[in-house]
Structure 1
Amino acid sequence: QGQISAEINSYLASDVERLGDRKEKGRKPKEVAKATLNFGLPVLESEITLIENERLYFRGVNALEIARTHSVEAAAAHLWQCDISAFDRSAPTSHGYLSAVMDNFRQRRAEETLLTLFTLASDDAGTALWQTSQQRLAEGSIDLVRILAGCLLGTEPNAKPLHQQCADVWGIDSRGADLIRRALVLCADHELNASSFTARCVVSTGASLRAGIVGGLAALTGGRHGATTARGEALWDEVVGDE
């Protein structure tokens, strides 16, 4: 009988550590629960987004390529699997009292006002659970996006491309508008932060897409989330005021 020999294999230290971490958490369910939402770990399956070889794909298409050549509306149509012609519809008409409410909130930050304004300006009909028409669901989603944009920008909902609406209100030139367009496309399927995760949880119960947005906007008001920006801005205002 010949000598027994062992094949020597080389392993990356990071792979060994990852395997040990996985085994350790397998013995401690509480540790799994605590680590579920750690940044960088994939925690939800998605048919929309793929991250592979350091590239981001939206439904099989490189997100960078979409951002280079397509509008936010075209990106949405691709993600929602609807025809881009759905965006040809007129913008929804806002309630008459909304302008007065907007004027009252004009000097306040968006994360403080969006929840109230959007709740007043929108309704559930187009994206409710009973809405089985895919065309109607797409149209309802488009209306919600345009209403939300109007609430953010302090304008009546309109059918202009979303990036152009932002540029017009913020006084930004065409080059800046194109950068806004690219940024919005790349954020089309958002990271799993507190507000987007809340929105997903709400919709997963069978609630309307509008209800999901309301839930996400509510989370955005939190002092450990969107309101942190307001606190930072207030600090800068205080520093400038002391000079």
Structure 2
Amino acid sequence: KFSDVADLNVQHLGKFECRPVLPCQQVVSIPLESMNHRRGYFAVQLNKALTEANILGFIKQVYTEEVPLNQLKSLDFFLRYASQIENAVKLNQWLQNTFETGWETLETLLSPPKMAWRSRNITSDSLIPVNSDLGVERIKKFNLEPTGEQVGLLVRLQPRTELEMGIGVELYPINNQVYLPQNLQLLLLDENGETVMQAEARSTKNIQLKFSGESGEIFSVKVALEDLSIVETFVI
């Protein structure tokens, strides 16, 4: 007798799951209850005697309980995906109150008295209402060289379902600046680096994007000004 599931907890990457495939099967079965909080799934083929196993492939996201084997990705695909996850900001961990270095609360980053008014402006201008029980927000400071100006990238999360996350990103001037630099761009990139949304500052106090994504999806936020480019990659 054997278990039909094996969880793999990989440091810095998260939880994956191995699913068995018997010799006569053309699909890999993934129960609905296991579709939450997984970074992906490995299909593992067993021989008739259940003494040997061979990894057939990998799949990142599933939407049905049976996935045809011809839809599996190669292990090279998994290695590229794992590399992206390892270097990304892991948003699901934010919901567990675990944050990467540099991502601070609004109160921490905007604590000096001369900046307190800006903290009130940011929180009152929420593009996604943050439920205190479920939602979370953090901000990170960036220096715009060579101008010396600083901006804060604010990221807000609001879970909508077990798999879907509402996400908002906003760019604000900090310190004594009132407006963002002219022509400063905020871009949303998909996992292939293609631009899917963008906003540009034109004598504005902030720019913002809002969207939703599903568990396991990877995206990047790019801040660009002339020859300067700053990119932060996230995984949901």
TM bracket, shorter-chain basis? under 0.3
Name which one, 1 or 2, has greater alpha-carbon Rg. Answer: 1
TM-score relative to the length of structure 1: 0.22
* Structure that is richer in strand per residue: 2
* Structure that is richer in helix per residue: 1
